[in-house]
Each structure stands twice: as structure tokens, then as C-alpha cells.
Structure 1
């Protein structure tokens, strides 16, 4: 049986492409192994597939600033490389596919050491730190934005576009309204700060809840352990820490989405033709990739953008309301972009580069 090792983690964005690939790989008879961190979000997401073998390894955090933890993490990454090497020696995969995130670094290094072909995927306009470390070792580097080609070796790079999960197109409005108890007669806004939540977004929604509820019903994906129990039962407002199978149905009833600007999420919304307001993670908390993503989507006419520091007060509420008024303008621009799901192309690439 053909065997593949998938890796990537730390956030949902570093797992989503793998989640898209898994059902197709299973259908095609692949033996699938996943290398991730112990207790990471990737372990939670992957465990719903009983057919996928999960292997936890030691890993550090890739920081862009000095910390004494960096020294400790060097040893953790070294340990992770040895653990990944043992998994690879046992599994003997035909290929490794990496979606990035700090857990992927030991796996990519171990795969290169073991002379196993490596395909990586970069969702943002500029490669993240983990993928930058892996660039010299990758056999092929796929990317979502065409502009990314200037950041990767020409002979290795391949513009692929956004890999969007098939199940997102199967959302049911009836199921969405049944899940939320909402009415179809009032617009719905879905608010999310990503799998970990976003304090500024959560604070804005809760501080301005009465004002927002005058116009919208609100689905609030607030992040793990970030629910506000005091708001349970408020009419027109429902909060979830995190959703998986419910997400397509919640998207189906949403007229507007207020979200961070992680590339996986915003390309999913583009494919679904969902008007969006992007609140990119500020460069004080990131390498600035979400700011680049948001600027690109605004230039294309797909979204409105609110800076994180401006997401407060009634002024921000008015911007949200105005985005709803202008929603059809965003949809018109989105319709000019053909819906492309390059999953099949990626699967063919895996077949092409696998080690026989």
C-alpha cells in the first residue's frame, strides 16, 4: 500500500489542507500517517479519522524574538527530529506533505535526512518561518497567491491557488437555522477570530452586542475557553468555542463574516461568495502576513478591512453595518473570480513525486 506522512499544526490553518486531502487519499488507497504535536489542535482534528495513524513528537515554538525558551526549544526540536526519523523509518512513506507550522520543521528535516520527497504548501503571500526553514529541503513548494513566486526558488515553486474543503459547499440553510434557532427574516453575521479566538474581536462583539443585535443575529466563534456564560440565552446571539461539522451550515445562513485575515479562511469565504470584513492580526503580534492578505483582498474588492486598533465603539459598528449594505458589491467582484479547487492538482502532484 502507498504510504504518506502528513504534517502541520499549531493552528487550524496549518491543518485544513491536510483535512481536505485525507478523504481523497483514503479513497485512493493510501496508508496515511500524521505527525503532529501532543495535545495540539492538529491531534484533535485528525483523530476524527480512525483510519489515520497519529504520531506525536516533541516540538518547540518558532519565535521571532529573543527568549531563553529558544535555547530549550532547540533541544526539543532536536528531539523531535529523532522522533520523526524513527516514525519515518517505521512507516517508510513514499512522500511527506507539509502544511507548515512549527511542528512541521522536525518532520521536514527528518524526511530530507531519510531522502523522502517533500511537498510543502504555503497559504500566505510570503512564506512563514517554518516553511522558510524548509525551503531548501522541499522537492516542490505549492503556494496560494501568485505573488508568492518571488519568495520561493523558481524551479521548485508551483502556483496552486487555494485548496478549499469540499464539505464547505454542502452547507444547508435549514440545518443552520435549526442549529442556531435563528430566524430567516433577519440578517446573520458570523464572527470568528480563528481557532484560538481573538480578544479584540471578542471584546468588540460583547461590548457592542446590544447595538449589533438591532441589525443582526450573531454567530460568535470565540475560541477555546473563551465563552462568556453571562451571554448564554441572549436572543439572536449564539456562541461556540469552536465548530467543525457545523461550520458549512453556519456559513450557509451567514450574510456577512467578520474575521481575522488568515488566508485559508478568507479563500474559503471567497469560494463561498461570502461578503467579509477583515480584521488582520496587527504586526505587533505577527509577521504581518494577515495585513498583506487583507490589503490584497481589499484591492480586489472582495472585502472591507478594519484595523485591529479601530475595532471598538459605535464607529466600528457603523462600519459593519455599511459593509452589510455594500455586500452585493463584494459578491459581484467575487463572481469575477472563477471558483477553483486545486485539490485534484495537488493529489496528482503527490502521485507524481512519490518515491517508488
Structure 2
């Protein structure tokens, strides 16, 4: 099988694509993959680092308000479709899948117009402009939240979950703890604000350090590279408790997650897929700065089912943070119930489901 994958802009679009590619190559080593992204996007470095064949087109996203830049974007879209058609014709894929980001627009649209089977994968509970546009042209739409169904043609939608969920299963939690400098005996809470960190979360954690020192659990606190030096300067003033490990970033997140009892984080789709797959309770502080407030809607899909506590950024303080952590970690029965509820929402075989859907679509097209 030959497959074109397109997705970019944020890790939330790229990492699910990579997880799917790994699943495909695990099942069929002879599968050929071409990844089409943008030259200046994160995908250009992340994908090429994985030694996956990569080509780029030039495209920008639409502004939600009237803007002269949108005229330029239309021109770039038309040129992007032309360039994508050329790449697709040369590669001759059996199927094309877009995992989100504006780069998917011309790539998936071009493939659909060439009569090649197409799929889009929507990670969030509220889809972006690109996937809403493409939903009219693709054969199938894979979703991760039931709440996303209402935005798409009903007959095209298939619930598959996020392929990233499959990659956290079966990891060694003890090894993950040790790699992060954590004890293997105390309960552990992981606090992070995404790959770049989140200032409001960082501020709440720093102010809570003295109280953390008195707690019977340990904290792994990931600041994000951009905030690490500032946080360290503040920590030097108040002191770093022995039960709090502070790092700028961790590269083995799946392994570390396997050894964690509670997560405090934003409500990005990839993070939620990972923690529900593992059955980890969470305290979710959704970013209020994202399109359509989709992170809060993502978070409520867990909190409404008892798998998470929702803590809005406007309500986030050192006191509220500690109260929420204590409520879960210091109540064994509550922790157990939340783990079970989180696990029920997980889709650990999501990559397999998505690949199976792709194969069925290709086989149906060949008949």
C-alpha cells in the first residue's frame, strides 16, 4: 500500500499522524509513506527526524475576520492544490489522510478531486475550519470525541479515537519514574502545560511549592523550555522541596505517564487520548486562547463522565490547585473510581482502528 499523510502546525496534528504511520509500518513493512507538510512548520523537523519521506507546499491559514491576507491565502490554496496534485500523481497513493492543520486543505482536496480515497482525522471535540471544509469532499471522517459528530455529514463519520493513545500502552512505569527522578513508592502527580508550558500553571505551582513540601505525594513539574529559567529563578527564592522534581521538558512522555497517578494539564486532544488510554485521572486547565474554546469542550467530555476535574484558568490559584490534587490523590476510593471512569473513555486500539478503516476504503475502491 502507498499512503500520503498530511498534517501540521501543532504537535496535536503531527504526533497522531506519526503514531498512525508507525502502526501501518508495524503491520506492513512494505507500505510506502509520503508526508506532505509546510517547509516552515513543526512537521518539517519532526517528520524528517523520523526519516519519513517529506515534501512541502506553501500555504497559510485563513483569518476568521475579513482580511486582505485571506486573498493571498486563496491564491496560495490554489497553488497548493496544483502542487499537491503533481506530488500525488507522481507518488500514486492508494489513499490520502489528513490529520489537521491548514496544510491538509490543498493536499486532501487535490486527492479527492483526483478520485483517490481520502480520510480526515479530527482530534478535537470542535473541528477547525480546514476539516469542516474538507468534510464535503472526503470519503470518511475519523473522530476522537462523540461531540464532534454534529459538525460533519453523519454517514461519513467513524469513531476511531486518537492514534497517539496506542503508543502509551505497555510502557514500563517504573522505568519511566526512575528516568524522571521520581520515587517508585510515593503517589505521583505530573503537572505540565504542553510542550511550551503555560504561564498561569507555572505561577500557581511555584506559589504552591512550600505546601507541596508537606504532602505525602511527589510532584513532577514540567515548565516548558521557554519558562524554565524564569521558574528556576523563582524556585531559588522559595526553595525546591525534595518531593518536587522540576524539568523543562521530557522526551519519553509515554513511559513517564505509565508511572503517574494523576495529571494536571491543559486539555489538548493528544494529552486526553494518552491519559484516558492509561486510565489516569486528571485535573484539566483548558487554554482559553484556542479556537472555538475547544479545549474546554474537550475537558468537559472527561469531567462530565467523572474522569477528570475541570479547573478553569480564571479559577486557578495555588490554593485551588492543591485542593483539587488533595481531593483526588488523598482519597483512595475517589482515585480508584476516577481511574476506572478514565479507562472507560480510552481507545487504546485507536491506531489499529484507523488503519483498518483505511484498508477497507482502499479495498472498496479497488473492486
TM-score by length of structure 1 reads 0.88
Report SS of the residue matched to 1:19. Answer: helix
Distance 1:98 1:166, change over 3 A: same
Hey, what's the Cα distance between the residues in 2 that align with 1:61 and 1:34? 19
Q: Could you tell me whether the CA contact under 8 Å between 1:60 and 1:73 is conserved in 2?
A: yes
In the alignment, structure 1 residue 97 sits paired with structure 2 residue 63: no
User: Which stretch has the larger CA shift, 331-340 or 308-317?
Assistant: 331-340
Aligned twin of 1:300: 305
- Point out 4+ residue stretches in structure 1 off by more than 6 angstroms: none
In the alignment, structure 1 residue 341 sits paired with structure 2 residue 324: no
Distance 1:348 1:316, change over 3 A: closer
Distance 1:168 1:77, change over 3 A: same
Distance 1:184 1:165, change over 3 A: same
Q: Could you tell me whether the CA contact under 8 Å between 2:302 and 2:342 is conserved in 1?
A: no
Summarize deviations over 1:222-244 as a string: whole Å, max 9, x none. Answer: 33533225359944322133x44
Aligned twin of 1:223: 224
In the alignment, structure 1 residue 266 sits paired with structure 2 residue 287: no
Hey, what's the Cα distance between the residues in 2 that align with 1:336 and 1:98? 27
Uncovered stretches (5+) of structure 1, i.e. residues with no partner: none
Hey, what's the Cα distance between the residues in 1 that align with 2:342 and 2:290? 29
Q: Could you tell me whether the CA contact under 8 Å between 1:98 and 1:104 is conserved in 2?
A: yes
Distance 1:250 1:95, change over 3 A: same
Q: Could you tell me whether the CA contact under 8 Å between 1:19 and 1:165 is conserved in 2?
A: no
Q: Could you tell me whether the CA contact under 8 Å between 1:277 and 1:323 is conserved in 2?
A: no
In the alignment, structure 1 residue 251 sits paired with structure 2 residue 257: yes
In the TM superposition, what are the counterparts of 1:322-337 in structure 2 within 5 Å?
322-325=327-330, 326-336=334-344
Hey, what's the Cα distance between the residues in 1 that align with 2:255 and 2:127? 32
In the alignment, structure 1 residue 313 sits paired with structure 2 residue 318: yes
How large is the RMSD of aligned CA atoms in angstroms? Answer: 2.5
Hey, what's the Cα distance between the residues in 2 that align with 1:316 and 1:225? 22
Aligned twin of 1:6: 5
Hey, what's the Cα distance between the residues in 2 that align with 1:86 and 1:218? 51
Hey, what's the Cα distance between the residues in 2 that align with 1:164 and 1:158? 17
Q: Could you tell me whether the CA contact under 8 Å between 1:304 and 1:323 is conserved in 2?
A: no
Uncovered stretches (5+) of structure 2, i.e. residues with no partner: none
Report SS of the residue matched to 2:247. Answer: strand
Hey, what's the Cα distance between the residues in 2 that align with 1:223 and 1:70? 33
Report SS of the residue matched to 1:190. Answer: strand
TM-score by length of structure 2 reads 0.86
Aligned twin of 2:115: 115
Aligned twin of 1:153: 153
Greater percentage in helix: 2
